[in-house]
Structure 1
Amino acid sequence: MFQPGQIKDYHALNTALDHLLAGEDDSVSHLANASSLLNYFLTDVNWVGFYTMKNGQLQLGPFQGLPACVTIPVGRGVCGTAVSEQKTMLVADVHAFPGHIACDANSKSEIVVPIKVNGEIYGVLDIDAPITNRFNADDQVGLEAFVQVLEKHLTAATV
């Protein structure tokens, strides 16, 4: 397949995710394995994880990295903005993003992809990097496809 930290092919990564989640029906397990897979195979990242919607705000879910902010209001920071605008946020320099929430001072760039289940915002995939300009259009396309695979399995999940 591919070596840790050397992902060049999101299609292969997304296929691996699909096989990893097949036959399982627990949403927390899906998110935990998805964050682990991304953390293991992406280079130059310092936080990979999920926030899910709970009581009208984003609540910390499974992740890989240092401890993180527990709740994020919709419309605040990169994650909250991704939810309010219902679109991927690709931020080259988080310090230039108005209202950025600094959970980890080492983070310099970020990509956040909204997750929808049954047409409703379920949460977001959030990935931070310790370098500016870490994420590009190829990453956005690949990670949006990754989230589509995840959405398929979350839709079928029972928990």
Structure 2
Amino acid sequence: MMRKQKPVKDSFVNMTELVLPNDTNTLNNLMGGRMMHLMDIAAAVAAQKHSNRIVVTASVDNVSFREGIKLGSVITLQAQVTRAFSSSMEVHIDVWAEDIPSGTKFKSNEAFFTFVAVDQSGRPIDVPEALPETPEEISLFDGALRRRQLRLLLAGRLKPEDATELKSLFAIG
């Protein structure tokens, strides 16, 4: 039976926060843990919108902090499902920081989170397939299987010989 398809744009989340004193470290920059917390919330909402289910965080890919985000800045988190597998979904998140008085805006973070949809008992449950439509959505969708195989390989849940999407990247001709 073919799974239902759902456009990835339907999972889009745009979340805005003001960096307040309680969110900052002693240098008056947003704390990394607070940023991760906000990213997890935005990504979880996107996964819930796609699956219409309870979701749990399964993994977080590399998150690098490019530049400090100062006290009083406005941060905007944009998250969207890139691809759905049987019960798991990859979510891409961009984080933008803006100093409104100075008119400056920059991209501070980008990451991929993986969520698993679960039933009321906490058991994984199937989710709709993700249907990409724009060139950017298609590009993220196309790379998702490689990223998934790399995650599983690094977690010891996939044998190197079964990483079919990764073999072509490392093939020596």
Higher-strand-fraction structure? 2
Same fold, judged at TM 0.5 (above): no
What TM-score, normalized to structure 2? 0.24
Q: Which has the larger radius of gyration?
A: 2
More helix by share: 1
